[in-house]
């Protein structure tokens, strides 16, 4: 009897992309896509999970009924609840993280099947969640603190207090840079960051 041949997806490089709020991570993610990589955006996954027809909706509704308005999750209310209570934040993470990880693994498999050379896992809390373990390489996007502050405070509905609270739940930029395989500096313009990325991708 002939042995069945199973076509496995080719080897794909998995790059973990992270950076604190306002560091320019979204721009770098877009540039990596232009350089030929697949991109898996964790924030976009969470947004879909929290939609009224999302996989996480029922569990979040049961755990945080005060965040439900017109049978939808009010993300601003949910954010205020969890960022002011570490225990409630852990409950939300226990609901979302396994689902996000499942979708990341599906994205890696799909990108490999499509014969992409690399996939970027855009994960704001990459090191905090221990997801660097599934990555071949990690990239941290960094910028001067004054520029980070300017960028974030220009956002709609952002306050100084909210900004400081978000920073409290993120690993400090310096620590992230020490853990990363590569650091991309976003404070000198898009052209400069693209040149840095091209050097990184050519090395990989």
Token look-up 């009010």 returns: 74
**Token duo for residue 33:** 């896509």
pLDDT digits (tens, 9 = 90+) for 64-88: 999 999 999 999 899 889 888 889 9
Tell me whether domains 12-37+116-204 and 47-115 share a fold. Answer: yes
- Tell me which CATH homologous superfamily contains domain 47-115: P-loop containing nucleotide triphosphate hydrolases (3.40.50.300)
Q: Looking at residue 185, what is its pLDDT?
A: 94
Could you tell me the residue ranges of all domains in the chain? Answer: 12-37+116-204, 47-115
Q: In terms of DSSP bridges, do strands 72-73 and 68-69 run parallel, antiparallel, or are they unpaired? A: antiparallel
Question: 151-194, pLDDT tens digit by residue?
Answer: 999 988 888 888 888 888 789 999 999 999 999 998 888 899 99
Q: Tens digit of pLDDT for each residue in 96-116?
A: 999 999 999 999 999 999 999
* 21-33: average pLDDT: 92
Top CATH class of 12-37+116-204 equals: alpha beta
Run of H or E residues at 16: strand 13-18
């Amino acid at each position: 009897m002939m042995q069945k041949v199973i076509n496995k997806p080719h080897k794909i490089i998995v790059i973990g992309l992270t950076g604190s709020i306002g560091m320019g991570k979204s721009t770098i993610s877009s540039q990596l896509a232009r350089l030929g990589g697949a991109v898996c955006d964790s924030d976009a996954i969470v947004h879909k999970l929290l939609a009224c027809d999302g996989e996480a909706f029922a569990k979040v509704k049961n755990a945080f009924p005060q965040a439900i308005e017109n049978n939808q999750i009010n993300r601003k209310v949910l954010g205020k609840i969890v960022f002011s209570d570490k225990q409630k934040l852990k409950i939300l993470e226990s609901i979302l993280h396994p689902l996000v990880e499942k979708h990341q693994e599906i994205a890696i498999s799909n990108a490999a099947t499509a014969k992409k050379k690399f996939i970027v896992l855009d994960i704001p809390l990459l090191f905090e969640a221990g997801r660097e373990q599934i990555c071949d390489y990690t990239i941290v996007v960094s910028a001067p603190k004054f520029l980070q502050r300017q960028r974030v405070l220009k956002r709609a509905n952002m306050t100084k207090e909210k900004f400081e609270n978000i920073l409290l739940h993120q690993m400090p930029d310096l620590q992230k840079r020490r853990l990363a395989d590569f650091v991309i500096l976003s404070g000198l313009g898009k052209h400069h960051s693209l040149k840095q990325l091209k050097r990184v991708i050519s090395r990989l």
